[in-house]
Structures are given as C-alpha cells and as structure tokens.
Structure 1
C-alpha cells in the first residue's frame, strides 16, 4: 500500500503533465487510443464514485451556514460558463459539433480537481467543496436544460436521454460513494490515499481516447479550438473572481469562485458528447481537460505566493 500511495502522490503532483502526455499519446497512436472511447462513460462513473468516496456529510454544512455564498457560486458556475461557451464558439466560427462541445463544457458542473487547486491557492476550501458537490448533484437537471436551450437550434438535443446519462454516470456513483463513506468509513479510509491515482488515470484515459478518435480534427482545427478553449477557461477564471468581488466575499472566497467557475468537469462533457453526438463534439472537453489543469496549476502557484489578507477566512466564507 505504501508503494501505491507514493505512486498516487506522484500522479497527483504531476496531474497536468500526465493529462498532456495522454493527449500526445492519442495523437501519436490514434487508432489504438480511439478504442478507449466506448468506455468513456464507465471511466467517468469510476471517477465520480471516487469523488463520492472523498465526500462527507460535513462537507455540506457550509450550505446551511452560508447559503448565500454557495448560491452565488453555483449560479455563477451555471450562467457564466455556458454563455461563454456558446458565445466564444460562435465568435470563433466553430462548426456545429464543436459549438455543442463548447456548450457541454460550459454546462457541466465543477471540475473534480478544483478543490485541490483551491487548497493550493489558499482559497476557501469549504466553499469550493460545497460548490463542486452542489453543482454535481444539480447537473442531471440543469446541464440537459442548458444544452437544450443553447444548442437545441444547432443540433438535435434529447434532454431526457442526457438526464439519464448524467444520472447513471455522475449522480448515482457520487451518491453511492458518499453513502459508502458514511456507513463504512473504516473500510473506505484505507483506500482514500489511492483515489487520486484512480481519478488521474481515468481522466488521462478519457483524454487519450477522445484525442485519438479526433486526431485528424486536432491537426486541422486544433489551433483554433485550442484558442477558444483557452479563452473559455481564462474568462471563466477572471469573471468568477469578479463575481466574488461584486458579492463582497473575502479574498479566499473570491479565489474559490474563480477556480470553481473556470474549471469544469470536462470528462463529463466528453462523455455526454460521445454518448449523444459524434466523437468530434467530445474534442472541446478533452482539450479543456488538458488546458484547465495546466492553467489551474499556474493559478495555484501564483496565489500560493500571495497570502490572503485574512488567513482566518480561509476555511469559512460569510454569505454575501
């Protein structure tokens, strides 16, 4: 177990580099990597189950104590990013399937690695965890409606089928993991150190498979789409911080909102695109997964060297 934990710690530290390496493998060995795509939903389900195992009922206490801050964050998450995805995709003149892929990224809940980034950035970890948890639990209901509203005129969107997909690969695994952690805490405690390894490997495989299935598209539209993804993530980080500033949150809360709004569950976006559209629609999710982990690491490094004005606010953000 010690060796496995050391490996898990290593992949956790080098998450962004490993995701980038997975994308490069997908480009170098496209036919082999493409064979992963039928298993994307299963991989995401495993990742979400691991996320549920890492959660506790105590993580939701901030919702009861400071509902205003959590509500502000979740509203920002489900308005800023979907609208940015739609607007940027059209501004860059992307084809319909990539437009849908950008909207799917924006309409997905918070990213699975955002809590770690917030912690490293000296942000409000409790608020970050609450936002990720609440947005994930709301995803089956909100994500299909947002995609239908923003992409329904571009491609045929079945909100009902998408709801069932998110229910199966996100909500049920997360709730199952949470219940197992709650009622079999001692059993789960032994495997908690290994969860980062499972999550990282799962996301790397998803990125590898999606990039491999779209290797030709990456070579032809990759630069333009890459710029669109960078703009999406960068504006999300900036606007998330500004929403926290406008909501009069302390610096730790602003950092949490910035990361939570800017980092999305791009694995879910890729999975939904693969299941309900064509593989090309999954490409924005794969590229976003590569980029937001690189930018998240950079943001964490920047803020880690700049302590918030009031360290006491770090774990608890008052309502706006």
Structure 2
C-alpha cells in the first residue's frame, strides 16, 4: 500500500493532468459532483497538512524570521502584481482577470514543500513560508483581491476572510490537535497523506474543469497563456530575488517555488463561493492547479542539478 501511495504522490502532476483531460473531454464523468464539494475536499487537504506540521516547523518561523518575512513579502507582492499586470497586458475580460488575480493573492500551495524537497531546496524554509503565508491569508488574500479587483467586481472581503478561516485555518488547527492528542494514530496515517492529497487535488481540478468544459474549449487558449506566464514569471522572479539578495542556492530554490506555486484550489473555491455571478473566475485556478504541478516537477529536476 505504501508503495502505491508513493507512486501516486510522485506522479501527482500526471494524475492531475489526466483527470483534467477526462473532465474536459467527458464532462459528465465528474460534473455530477457539485462545486460545493470543493470546500470539504480542500478542508481534507488542509487537515492533512495540520497532521504533518510539528512545533519544530513553527519554531523555524521564530528562529529564522528574516528569511520567512522575506518569503512572505515576496509571496504577497510578486504574484498579485504579476496577476494584475498580466490581466492588463492580455486584456482579459473581467471574469477571467478576477480568476487570475484570485490565484495571485492566495497563499503558497502545499505541493510546494514536496517540490522543494525534490529540488534539493531549503525544505525548512519552504515549510515555514507555507505555514506563515497560510496563517496570513485570511487577512491578506481578501484585502489584496479588493485592492486589485475591487474596481472590476464587488468583493466581499469579510465573507472571503470567513471562508479562508473555516476552509484553511480550522482544518489545520484540527490536524495539529489530532497530532497532539492522538500521536500514534497520526503517525500511522502520515505516510498515506501525500497520496490522499494528490487524489483530492485531482478531483477538485476535475470538478471545476467538468463544470466549465464548454467555456474552456471555446476560449481556453488565452487563459492557459495567462496562467502559464503567471506561474513561470513567479518562479523566475522568486529565484531572481534570492540571487539579488545573494542567498545560497537552496534558499533561492525554496523562495522560487514558494512564490511560483499557489494554493489555486483555494482560489477556485473562493470563486465558487463569492463570485458565483462570474463563473469564468473559477477557470484560472483549475488550469493553474494542473500546470503548476507540471512546471513544479520540471523545476525540481532543473534545480536539483
């Protein structure tokens, strides 16, 4: 069983790509599942993250505040600004621009820690940045979306803050409590969590793609271009910042991957919950979920050399 789980986790990018392709070409395979199931699924992923975090991970934040602060500052400035500039440069319609901006304003994705490990980057820094940006997200994500997209659409900042708390923060806290009071049970399930997260992420992407298949087939090229550009620029700028500050290579790698890989599932979830009047806003998050796993795997091989 562990061997199967390791295989699934290792090929997460391929799994997400296959599920997305099936959902696009055969929408009825997954569109029977409501988009409202996305939140509980994201909660499962965040709960798993809480089970794998330890007090040592939070001590990293306290012992290396300069590195963590730099990373979070880059996370919440580079990606939102890139999202806004790309949306403007490509003249995206408001709905799609909103989706790209939502992705840019979200915290780092949990997959970034796995990619950083494979890329031989500074894993402790990556985990610390993910934890810190996730804790800051309930305040910074709604605020940044309002600043970047408030003139395009009506942004419910309080509603978004509440959503992030119960979709992201509450499950992580529940996972930490389980780890604290049920350590033996937690240790027994931890080896299977990467595979479970991979399957759940693939399902989330599949559900979003299946519900928007016709729109993707009609005008998907420009969205794909925006998402790929956003991700690649994020990876590049993150590494360039580390190089400019003369950080050692492992730290540059961690910074690059943390900046470039977003919690795009959360972006799609927020689009479903708070921007139902703009259905196209869910699409950039779905495409980003597929693409950043592919680019992350390629970056891991490149940086690992």
User: Normalising by structure 1, what TM-score?
Assistant: 0.92
**Does 34-43 or 205-214 show the bigger shift?**
34-43
Could you give the per-residue CA deviations for residues 62-116 of structure 1, whole angstroms, max 9, x where no partner exists? 2222211110000000000011111111211111111111011001111111011
CA displacement at 1:35 relative to structure 2: 2.9
Aligned to 1:247, which of 245, 248, 265?
245
Return the alpha-carbon distance in structure 2 between the equivalents of residues 74 and 8 of structure 1.
Answer: 31
CA displacement at 1:245 relative to structure 2: 1.7
Return the alpha-carbon distance in structure 1 between the equivalents of residues 297 and 303 of structure 2.
Answer: 10
Q: Which residue of 2 aligns with 1:300?
A: 300
Gap regions ≥5 residues in structure 1 = 306-320
Q: Which residue of 1 aligns with 2:284?
A: 284
Return the alpha-carbon distance in structure 1 between the equivalents of residues 40 and 133 of structure 2.
Answer: 21
Gap regions ≥5 residues in structure 2 = none
Report if aligned partners of 2:68, 2:129 keep a CA contact under 8 Å in 1.
yes
CA displacement at 1:32 relative to structure 2: 4.0
Return the alpha-carbon distance in structure 2 between the equivalents of residues 35 and 141 of structure 1.
Answer: 34
Q: Which residue of 1 aligns with 2:256?
A: 258
Report if aligned partners of 1:98, 1:283 keep a CA contact under 8 Å in 2.
yes
Tell whether 2:107 aligns with 1:109. Answer: yes
Aligned to 1:198, which of 193, 196, 199?
196
**Does 223-232 or 32-41 show the bigger shift?**
32-41
Q: Which residue of 2 aligns with 1:20?
A: 17
Q: CA RMSD in A?
A: 1.1
Aligned to 2:272, which of 266, 274, 291?
274
Instruction: Please give the secondary structure, in 1, of the residue aligned with 2:246.
Output: coil
Return the alpha-carbon distance in structure 2 between the equivalents of residues 245 and 176 of structure 1.
Answer: 38
Return the alpha-carbon distance in structure 1 between the equivalents of residues 133 and 177 of structure 2.
Answer: 18
CA displacement at 1:56 relative to structure 2: 0.5
Report if aligned partners of 1:112, 1:132 keep a CA contact under 8 Å in 2.
yes
User: Normalising by structure 2, what TM-score?
Assistant: 0.97
CA displacement at 1:224 relative to structure 2: 0.9
Instruction: Please give the secondary structure, in 2, of the residue aligned with 1:191.
Output: helix
Instruction: Please give the secondary structure, in 2, of the residue aligned with 1:110.
Output: coil
Structure 1 residue runs of 4+, over 6 Å off? none
Aligned positions of 1:115-194 closer than 5 A: 115-194=113-192
